């Protein structure tokens, strides 16, 4: 068989397969924006204690904890992960708003404490 005849046979076979497999396009489905937003994972976490409000967003390498202490006395934030032995402690002076970057990409909890002992390990 010549090359042109082989090309014609392959082209005809491909057209026949496409004709059999072709499916009419489905009607587009309108998904409400609210439903999509509810399915998205929460990447900003917020919380608060008796004196400090805090928030953080999930990061790849590090996490920045934003805080606002509305009491006059200094307090501590204990930041850690479940099943982690040594949580990190952040001292927040009284009437202070700011942030602190920690080298932990996935903290799972923040607790306000009157005193915090950060152990070196």
Q: What is the CATH number of the domain that holds 79?
A: 2.60.40
User: Is residue 121 domain-resident?
Assistant: no
What's the number of domains the chain is made of? 1
pLDDT at 40: 40
pTM for the full model? 0.60
**What per-residue string of b and e applies to 39-71 under the rule 16 or more CB within 10 Å gives b?**
eeeeeebeeeeebbebbbeebeeebebebbbee
How is residue 104 annotated by DSSP?
Answer: -
Kind and range of the H or E run holding 4: helix 3-21
CA angle in degrees (0–180, nearest 5) for 58-61-62: 65
pLDDT at 10: 55
pLDDT at 39: 40
pLDDT at 41: 44
Burial of 107 (0-12, 13-18, 19+ CB in 10 A): buried
pLDDT at 18: 57
- SS3 label, residue 68: strand
User: Is residue 25 domain-resident?
Assistant: no
pLDDT at 31: 44
pLDDT at 35: 41
User: Is residue 68 domain-resident?
Assistant: yes
d(CA 56, CA 101): 10
User: Is residue 18 domain-resident?
Assistant: no
User: Is residue 99 domain-resident?
Assistant: yes
Over the chain (121 residues), the average pLDDT of each successive run of 10 is: 58 60 54 42 81 90 92 93 83 95 84 80 46
């Amino acid at each position: 068989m010549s090359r042109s005849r082989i090309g014609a046979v392959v082209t005809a076979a491909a057209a026949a397969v496409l004709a059999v497999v072709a499916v009419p396009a489905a009607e587009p489905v309108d998904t409400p924006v609210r439903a999509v937003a509810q399915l998205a994972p929460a990447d900003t976490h917020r919380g608060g204690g008796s004196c400090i409000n805090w928030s953080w967003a999930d990061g790849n390498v590090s996490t920045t904890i934003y805080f606002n202490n509305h009491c006059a006395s200094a307090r501590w934030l204990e930041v850690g992960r479940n099943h982690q032995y040594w949580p990190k402690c952040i001292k927040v002076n009284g009437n202070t708003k700011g942030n602190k970057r920690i080298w932990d990409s996935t903290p799972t909890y923040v607790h306000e404490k009157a005193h915090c002992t950060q152990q070196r390990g």
